């Protein structure tokens, strides 16, 4: 079956477009994190500036994700894929002009993120049109792997590009990647919806608002849904906070920029995320999902506390391998929480509402994760970034005990 899927030229085009697009997005995000910190370095708001960038990139997922999905359902998927790649490829070169203006960088990053919200559902909707139904599980596994691998590839490419050629090289590489995705999607066949329906913006917004309120009430009222959603939000918060504080952590631990130390801070975490996703999938066949979640949550919280203690531990152990080991372990544990919680959510939701719940879930996760990321940046400008991570770790330990008390009995139904 794998050979048949890889022999499907139309699938390979879409998969290639996904790879190019995801790598471009991750490469740009990492490059902008480094660039914003460099511009604000030495000021009292350096960490807050990075947090605001992450918020600017995340806000479109809250506002546009659901309406974009409704729009895509009524349009030719190919055309949506083409114009989203074309617009993003056209927007990225504008960074050459606004590179030193933080506010303009935020606005441009936000605009690119808005159009990405249309690319993602169009890509997901196109896949079943290009592969046979029996090949969908294999095709989806390729897409999920690419989603995780692009994090490592994008973040790995950014550091050497910036060190060798400067941030402008990142903008060139991202533009080329989006143009590559554009070329691949242009060669796809038309994928029009079954019925031609007029897209009514006002009606769509009203319907989306009604559905979101209904689903939100349903999720809050069902603890078996609320429990995994809160856990996924916590796992995403850990990733966001560490990403926001990574530039200042690099300065505090190594006295160098994040671009020069990504092999100790960022790359191990990305490898841990992928490795943890694979191992957790196998563990869940033998171990209780609830037990795995709580073990991983308490372990991840402890790692955050240990990260705060690295300056003291570095008197005993070499700081670079120590940091890499901790960030790898944190990524591994974070992936275990995500996989187990996602599985619980799938078991707790009915097939009739599963798609709608996951759409609402994506919005709730982004809302829940962005505020802690922003606060972490503000606090890191007042206190040391490692102290903020330590406080987050202690807070998560307390949250873990609260979760065990509130959700323990209910969650065991889906162990």
CA atoms within 13 A on the CB side of 166: 3
Tokens linked to 350: 């009915």
Contacts of 133 (CB under 8 A, 6+ apart): none
Q: Which residues 6+ apart lie within 8 Å of 373 measured at CB?
A: 51, 54, 55, 58, 237, 240, 241, 243, 244
DSSP state of 189: P
Do residues 170 and 31 touch, judged by C-beta distance below 8 A?
Answer: yes
Name the packing angle between helices 258-265 and 319-348 (round to 10°): 60
Buried b / exposed e across 334-359, counting CB within 10 Å, b at 16+?
A: bbbbbbbbbbbbeebbeeeeeebbeb
The conformation of residue 188, written as its DSSP 8-state character, comes to S
Q: Is 42 left (phi over 0), alpha (psi -120 to 50) or beta?
A: left
Q: Does residue 376 contact residue 214 with C-beta atoms inside 8 Å?
A: no
Q: Select from 84, 67, 68, 76 the least CA-distant residue to 193.
A: 76
CATH of 1-199, one of 2.60.120.10, 1.10.10.10, 3.40.50.1000, 1.20.1250.20: 1.20.1250.20
CATH ID of 216-415, from 1.20.1250.20, 1.10.3720.10, 3.90.1200.10, 3.20.20.70: 1.20.1250.20
pTM higher than 0.75 for the full model? yes
Distance between CA 307 and CA 387 in Å, rounded?
Answer: 9
Task: Map out the domains of the chain as residue ranges.
Answer: 1-199, 216-415
**Residue 100: DSSP 8-state:** T
One digit per residue, pLDDT tens: the chain, 415 residues? 678 888 889 989 999 999 999 999 999 999 999 999 999 998 989 999 999 999 999 898 888 877 777 777 778 889 999 999 999 999 999 999 998 999 999 999 999 999 998 888 888 778 888 888 777 767 776 776 777 678 778 877 888 899 889 999 999 999 999 999 999 999 999 888 766 555 566 766 676 667 667 666 766 667 777 788 888 888 888 988 998 899 999 999 999 988 889 889 888 988 888 888 878 877 777 777 888 889 999 999 999 999 999 999 998 999 999 999 999 999 999 988 888 887 777 676 654 455 455 556 666 667 777 888 889 999 999 999 999 999 999 999 999 999 888 876 665 555 5
CB 286 within 8 A of CB 340: no
Q: Comparing 1-199 with 216-415, is the CATH topology the same?
A: yes
């Amino acid at each position: 079956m794998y050979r048949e899927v890889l022999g499907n030229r139309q699938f390979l085009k879409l998969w290639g477009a996904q790879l190019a697009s995801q790598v471009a997005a991750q490469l740009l995000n990492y490059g902008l994190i480094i660039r914003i910190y460099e511009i604000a370095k030495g000021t009292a708001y350096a960490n807050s500036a990075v947090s605001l960038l992450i918020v600017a990139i995340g806000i479109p997922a809250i506002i546009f994700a659901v309406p974009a999905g409704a729009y895509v359902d009524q349009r030719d998927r190919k055309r949506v894929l083409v114009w989203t790649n074309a617009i993003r490829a056209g927007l990225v070169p504008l960074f050459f002009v606004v590179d030193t203006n933080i506010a303009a960088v935020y606005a441009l990053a936000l605009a690119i993120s808005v159009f990405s919200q249309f690319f993602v559902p169009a890509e997901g909707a196109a896949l079943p049109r290009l592969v046979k139904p029996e090949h969908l599980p294999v095709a989806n596994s390729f897409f999920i792997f690419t989603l995780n691998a692009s994090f490592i590839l994008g973040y790995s490419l950014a550091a050497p590009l910036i060190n060798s050629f400067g941030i402008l090289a990142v903008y060139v590489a991202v533009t080329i990647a989006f143009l590559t995705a554009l070329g691949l999607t242009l060669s796809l066949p038309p994928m029009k919806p079954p019925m031609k329906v007029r897209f009514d913006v006002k009606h769509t917004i009203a319907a989306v608002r009604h559905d979101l309120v209904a689903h939100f009430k349903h999720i809050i009222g069902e603890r078996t849904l609320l429990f995994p959603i809160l856990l996924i939000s916590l796992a995403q918060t850990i990733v966001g906070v560490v990403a926001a504080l990574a530039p200042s952590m690099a300065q505090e631990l190594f006295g160098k920029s994040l671009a020069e130390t990504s092999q100790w801070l960022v790359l191990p975490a990305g490898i841990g995320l992928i490795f943890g996703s694979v191992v957790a999938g196998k563990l869940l066949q033998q171990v209780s999902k609830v037990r795995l979640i709580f073990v991983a949550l308490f372990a991840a919280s402890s790692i955050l506390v240990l990260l705060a203690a690295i300056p003291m531990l570095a008197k005993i152990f070499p700081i670079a391998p120590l940091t890499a080991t901790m960030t790898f372990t944190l990524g591994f544990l974070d992936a275990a929480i995500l996989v187990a919680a996602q599985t619980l959510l799938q078991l707790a939701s009915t097939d009739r509402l599963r798609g709608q719940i996951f759409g609402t879930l994506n919005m709730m996760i982004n809302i829940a994760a962005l505020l802690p990321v922003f606060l972490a940046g503000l606090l890191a400008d007042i206190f040391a970034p490692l102290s903020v991570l330590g406080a987050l770790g202690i807070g998560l330990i307390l949250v873990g005990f609260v979760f065990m008390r509130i959700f323990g009995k209910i969650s065991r139904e889906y162990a």
